[in-house]
Amino acid sequence: MSSKDLEVIERGLVLSAQSFNDENINKTWRTQVRKMDGETVSAFSKLIPPREIFIEAVCALIGRYIGIQIPKPILVLLPKNIIPSLEKDKLGFASEDVEHPSIRRSVEQQAILKAIKNDLQCFHVGVFDEWIANPDRNTGNILYDGSDDFWFIDHGLSISNQLAFNTPAKRNLLLSHQYQQAQLLVRTRAHRDATKDLVPEYKNIPLALLSGNTHAVHYTEQSTVTDVVEFLSKRIDEMSTLLAQRLGVNRASDQLDIKL
């Protein structure tokens, strides 16, 4: 994807659904979805409130824009005749099936968690999680292919309307896992790498396109869109401080040109 292209989220109709349980909070189904272009894909669809649908869509689009492996998002119609437990047809959010299980479902959890500790992509996602204030990263929403490929799902609890833009996320599983016991020099380098190499990419994301590219006008209020875009925009300028707090480093130490 070029630096000028922000995806437009696709829309689709759920054709079949089978209940899926991976200790997930929201009702989730393994579904077949027919997209508006006629293609039918396998996807995990879930029923969540409109604001959460918007947050999921936003985080998927901006995450994919900067190269994070997030499955392709779809806005889906969940029909009552397919899911009888629904009172009426409902709008839901779906992620295309990348055919990898979550770490939670793996018998090799400890080995995978060890691999995460030194994984550059997971560091990238940890920084991203701090930007979107994602408190919910866990072994159930990190997918693993059994080799060296991780995918990331479930961002609906991010960008809480109860959290100020300059306040640290309640928790950050990946950065804490990677750096909680690291030496100060290692943590300082991580802060420098994040603020110099990763955070500047966020400023290139066309946040003004998020409302149109997520079809937000059809399911959420304009005030929600405004608040979310403003949160993300303002938080970029706070990232150096937020990451310093998360990593337990002094921002001034980043001014040192450490060469070892």
Mean pLDDT (the chain, rounded): 92
Cα-atom radius of gyration of the chain, to the nearest Å?
Answer: 19
For residue 4, what pLDDT is reported? 62
Q: Which residue intervals of 6-119 are DSSP H helices? A: 50-65, 109-117
* pLDDT value, residue 250: 83
Q: pLDDT tens digits for 139-189?
A: 999 999 887 789 999 999 999 999 999 999 999 999 999 999 999 999 999
Looking at residue 256, its pLDDT comes to: 45
Q: What is the pLDDT of residue 260?
A: 29
For residue 132, what pLDDT is reported? 98
- pLDDT at site 22: 66
* pLDDT the model gives residue 220: 97
Contact 143, 96 (CB under 8 A): no
DSSP per position, 129-198: HHHTT-----TTSEEE-SSS-EEE---TT-S-TTS-TTS--S--HHHHHHHTTS-HHHHHHHHHHIIIII
Stretches where the chain sits below pLDDT 70 are: 1-4, 22-24, 107, 251-260
**Which of the 8 DSSP states describes residue 224?**
H
Domains of the chain, first to last: 10-96 (3.30.200), 103-255 (1.10.1070)
Dig out the tokens for 259 from the structure: 């060469």
Kindly report the backbone phi and psi dihedral angles of residue 75, in degrees, each rounded to the nearest multiple of 5, phi listed first.
Answer: -85, 125
Q: Find, among 109, 51, 58, 34, the residue nearest to 211 by Cα.
A: 58
**Phi then psi for 97, rounded to 5 degrees?**
-75, 120
pTM over cut 0.75: yes
